[in-house]
Amino acid sequence: MRMRELQTDFRALFSGRLLAALCALLLAVAPAAAESVSDWSEDHASRARLLDGGADGSHRLAGIEIDLDPGYHTYWRHAGDSGLPPAIDWSGSRNVAEAELLFPAPARFADLSGSFFGYAAHVVLPLRVTPVDPQAPIDLRIALEYGVCKEICIPARADLALALGSPPSEGHPAVEQALARVPRPVAFGDTGPLGFLGVEIVGPDRLTVRVRAPEGATLFAEGPNYRWFLDPQPEMASAAGGEGSFEVEIAAKPREPAGLADLRLTLVGGDDAVESVFTLDAADLAENGR
């Protein structure tokens, strides 16, 4: 009888110690998992934080997650008729040679002030980070400025910090999902369900962009600098065989444009997005204005 009691006491003691050891292990692991995200930084009707995105070859990946109150939006790299595109300052970081901000495909919106391009409710903006020393950890510090808009647009700011350890972590899945929405570069005439077929200058201030795209596709167009403003029509004019076209108004350009100008075109169709560059010769615009 005494032997059975001793066995019972030993099992209870062993089980208790095993449970305590498991709890200690979980507590030790929990902080490491939590370090894959920074604390939230809150500003007007929004909050932002950094996500560890793991590694991509010689680069480290991160993401800026922006969460917006219902009814609010923020902007793409080209805001449209009005707005404040996101901008970052990473100069306070350590072991960072460069940090490139990437943009998932935007949506087009309209209000009384015109058309604007961006994101409603929530977005993750990927960061491609080039370390000075790839074998060393990174102290990533980002000063983020962005617009938060509803009826009016208000500048917001977030000061964010996150340690990217070495070796890299597996990466937050939201960063991978956001990267999948960044438009991929294609050449004119590439085969595939989404792409660019050609650009025709049809007037001194107007282009026609021919595309291969599904119904409901959206075109975005950017000039080489702030002196240019390109305004594509909201809806694609469809043609047979999955092809269509967009009329693009050159709403603003230098008073006397000269030489070559690179126009950046982004085409969004369903869950896919592509981009390409069309080099415009200003002499061709002048020729079509005669």
Does residue 108 lie within any of the structural domains? yes
Same domain, 55 and 163: yes
Average pLDDT over residues 166-191: 93
Average pLDDT over residues 250-254: 90
Does residue 193 lie within any of the structural domains? yes
| Per-residue confidence (pLDDT) for residue 238, from 0 to 100 | 83
Residue 286's pLDDT band (cuts 50, 70, 90): low
Same domain, 49 and 176: yes
Same domain, 135 and 232: no
Residue 35's pLDDT band (cuts 50, 70, 90): low
Query: How many of the other CB atoms lie within 10 Å of CB of 138?
Result: 25
Q: Which of 81-90, 97-106, 149-158, 240-249 has the highest mean pLDDT?
A: 97-106
Same domain, 167 and 48: yes
Least confident range from 49-53, 95-99, 284-288: namely 284-288
- Asked if pLDDT for residue 197 goes beyond 80, the answer is yes
What CATH number did the domain enclosing 253 receive? 2.60.40
User: Which residue, 134, 149, 181, sits at the end of a domain?
Assistant: 181
Same domain, 207 and 164: no
Please give the model's pTM, rounded to 2 decimal places. 0.84
User: What percent of the chain clears pLDDT 90, i.e. is strictly above it?
Assistant: 69
Same domain, 165 and 57: yes
Write down the mean pLDDT value for the chain: 87
Same domain, 76 and 198: no
How many whole angstroms separate alpha carbon 127 and alpha carbon 125? 7
Amino acid at 114: G
| Per-residue confidence (pLDDT) for residue 122, from 0 to 100 | 97
Residue 258's pLDDT band (cuts 50, 70, 90): confident
As a whole number of angstroms, the longest Cα–Cα distance in the chain is 111
pLDDT (tens digit, 9 = 90+) per residue, 47-82?
999 999 999 999 999 999 999 999 999 999 999 988
Same domain, 176 and 57: yes
| Per-residue confidence (pLDDT) for residue 269, from 0 to 100 | 95
User: Which residue, 181, 206, 221, sits at the end of a domain?
Assistant: 181
| Per-residue confidence (pLDDT) for residue 184, from 0 to 100 | 97
Same domain, 73 and 157: yes
The residue range of the domain holding 243 is 185-288
More confident residue, 253 or 268: 268
| Per-residue confidence (pLDDT) for residue 115, from 0 to 100 | 87
User: What percent of the chain clears pLDDT 70, i.e. is strictly above it?
Assistant: 86
User: Which residue, 130, 146, 181, sits at the end of a domain?
Assistant: 181
pLDDT (tens digit, 9 = 90+) per residue, 124-178?
999 999 999 999 999 999 999 999 999 888 999 999 999 999 888 888 999 999 9
Does residue 234 lie within any of the structural domains? yes
| Per-residue confidence (pLDDT) for residue 112, from 0 to 100 | 74
Does residue 177 lie within any of the structural domains? yes
Instruction: Tally the domains of the chain.
Output: 2
| Per-residue confidence (pLDDT) for residue 288, from 0 to 100 | 61
| Per-residue confidence (pLDDT) for residue 31, from 0 to 100 | 39
- Asked if pLDDT for residue 244 goes beyond 90, the answer is yes
- Asked if pLDDT for residue 289 goes beyond 80, the answer is no
Q: b or e along 68-98 (b: 16 or more beta carbons within 10 Å of the residue's beta carbon)?
A: beeebbbbbbbbbeebbbbebebeebebbee
Least confident range from 68-72, 79-83, 270-274, 282-286: namely 282-286
